[in-house]
Amino acid sequence: MSYSIDLREKVLKYVEKGGSISEASRLFDISRPAIYQWIKKKNLGSLKDKPPRRPWRKINPEEVTAFVEKHSDLTLADYAKHFGIKPSSMFNVFKRLNISRKKRQFVTKKEMKLSVKPS
């Protein structure tokens, strides 16, 4: 968990006023490398952390969008089988790419039962 921006500013103000980094580390119970990183970040402009970047691991997003455009009538399970992943993972890929999918099959597996028996 990251430290708040207010705490980071307090620590850096303490160091700027003449306190050593080791003293600030003991006083605020923060590691010295963290304080050094905050000093670098402040020199670059902002103390905020960058949002984490999660790379694509198994699937190329361009390949997925091209395949979905070509085969738009498949179900989620069919897409997952084609790419060799689980349907839940395919759902996450679609969600990340903002692709809507086919919700259910048009033909049900079981035929409809008649409520009135023919005479």
pLDDT digits (tens, 9 = 90+) for 23-74: 999 999 999 999 999 999 998 888 888 887 777 777 888 999 999 989 888 8
Q: Calculate Rg over the CA atoms of the chain.
A: 28
Task: Please state at what angle helix 61-70 crosses helix 76-83, rounded to 10 degrees.
Answer: 130
Give 104 or 33, the one with higher predicted confidence: 33
| pLDDT for the residue 50 | 81
What does the pLDDT average to over 108-112? 57
Q: Report the distance separating Cα 28 and Cα 5, nearest Å.
A: 14
CB count within 10 Å of CB 8 equals: 23
Q: What is the pLDDT of residue 110?
A: 60
Give the pLDDT score at 23: 93
C-beta separation of 93 from 59 below 8 A: yes
